[in-house]
Amino acid sequence: MIDTPEKERTVSEPQVTSPLATASAADHYAELVHSRRSVRKYDAKADFDHDVVQRSLELATLSPNSSNMQLWQFHRVVSDNKREQLAQLCMGQNAAKTARELIVITTTPYKWKERAKRNATQIREAFAGREDATSKRAVKYYEKLIPFVYRNDRFGIMGAIRKVLVAYLGRKKPMVREVSKADLRVCLHKSTSLAAMTFMTAMRAEGYDTCPMEGFDSKRVKQLLDLKPKDEITMIIGCGPRAEDGIYGDRHRVDNSEVIIKH
Ligand SMILES: Cc1cc2nc3c(=O)[nH]c(=O)nc-3n(C[C@H](O)[C@H](O)[C@H](O)COP(=O)(O)O)c2cc1C
């Protein structure tokens, strides 16, 4: 039995027992996706169970994320006072003002060393006594490649050097080109966005609604929540029970043929 490091969780997959179960899961999922809308007005009188937010965020942490670095945080703004202040910083949008809880999703780039170490340790322990080429490669990935890509200076000079290096090395073989400081920011926001989607889908599954928002004053929000200077806010999600007139219009999308392209 291998000791898992403190707070490390091993998540087992639920068993899909039959093709029938798969079919109904697909139907349920399609129903969820269709019924999720960005809700801009929440019912102030309906019951709202804040435990559902906690549960949904716990599911969100199971989202795929780059190199399993988990460089994210989910700040729950529950108290009336903070919520009202935050709603003002969301430019007074209805989706924020009427929300029963607001979630501020952030990236935490400065935790990369600790997370890389944790992942390397986890692999070492999992493969203790039976190390093979794959496990050695995985450890090397966290101990050599991740530091190479994640280490940055204030001005992004190291990233610019990496960019030149991969352009040179990539002349004759495939290379990952996104190695600058800005690329790393994008990388972290991709993972937090996927977590946001898991959260919103989980909330819908519980009968509640959400609205993702990027219309906010990030500087003031960081001050309000006492966030670190290097924390970056991906989005703020308002949530609660949908008001009858909470959806502002029909859902519109461009034609699928314009955006789904087969090669
Ligand atoms: C990154 C992001 C930022 C958004 N910001 C806002 C926002 O600030 N205010 C708002 O009312 N809706 C916001 N939305 C919601 C979109 O307007 C909405 O998803 C889109 O119109 C499609 O509608 P639907 O979500 O109901 O399908 C945002 C959505 C995303 C993904």
Query: Is 175 found in the same domain as 116?
Result: yes
Give how far Cα 64 sits from Cα of 61, 113, 190, Å: 8, 19, 10
pLDDT recorded at residue 15:
64
Average pLDDT on 88-117 reads 98
Q: For residues 106 and 18, which has the higher predicted lDDT (pLDDT)?
A: 106
Query: Is 179 found in the same domain as 68?
Result: no
For residue 215, the CA-to-ligand 1 centroid distance in Å is 9
For residue 238, the CA-to-ligand 1 centroid distance in Å is 11
**Span 231-262, pLDDT tens digits:** 999 999 999 999 999 999 999 999 999 999 99
Concatenated DSSP letters of the chain: -PPPPTT----PPPPP--HHHHHHHHHHHHHHHHH--B---B-SSS---HHHHHHHHHHHTTS--GGG---EEEEEE-SHHHHHHHHHHTTT-HHHHS-SEEEEEEE-GGGHHHHHHHHHHHHHHHTTT---HHHHHHHHIIIIIHHHHH---TTSHHHHHHHHHHHHHTTTS------SHHHHHHHHHHHHHHHHHHHHHHHHHTT-EEEEE--S-HHHHHHHTT--TT-EEEEEEEEEPBPTT---S------HHHH----
Q: Is residue 90 part of a domain?
A: yes
Query: Is 98 found in the same domain as 216?
Result: yes
> Ligand 1 in contact with 38 (CB < 6 A)?
yes
Residue closest by Cα to atom 5 of ligand 1: 213
Query: Is 104 found in the same domain as 46?
Result: yes
pLDDT recorded at residue 1:
35
Query: Is 199 found in the same domain as 105?
Result: yes
Nearest to 243 by CA among 92, 48, 29: 48
Q: Give me the CATH number covering residue 224.
A: 3.40.109.10
Domain that holds residue 162: 112-183
pLDDT recorded at residue 14:
62
Query: Is 79 found in the same domain as 202?
Result: yes
**Span 155-214, pLDDT tens digits:** 999 999 999 999 999 999 999 999 999 999 999 999 999 999 999 999 999 999 999 999
Residue closest by Cα to atom 22 of ligand 1: 38
Around 6, how many Cα atoms within 13 Å sit in the side-chain half-sphere? 1
pLDDT higher than 90, residue 23? no
> Ligand 1 in contact with 246 (CB < 6 A)?
no
**What size, in residues, is the chain?**
263
Q: Sheet containing 232-240: which strands, arranged edge to edge?
A: 72-77, 101-107, 232-240, 209-213
> Ligand 1 in contact with 242 (CB < 6 A)?
no
> Ligand 1 in contact with 58 (CB < 6 A)?
no
Query: Is 176 found in the same domain as 59?
Result: no
CA of 39, closest atom in ligand 1: 26
Res. 4 pLDDT band, cuts 50 70 90: very low
> Ligand 1 in contact with 211 (CB < 6 A)?
yes
**Span 168-185, pLDDT tens digits:** 999 999 999 999 999 999
Res. 132 pLDDT band, cuts 50 70 90: very high
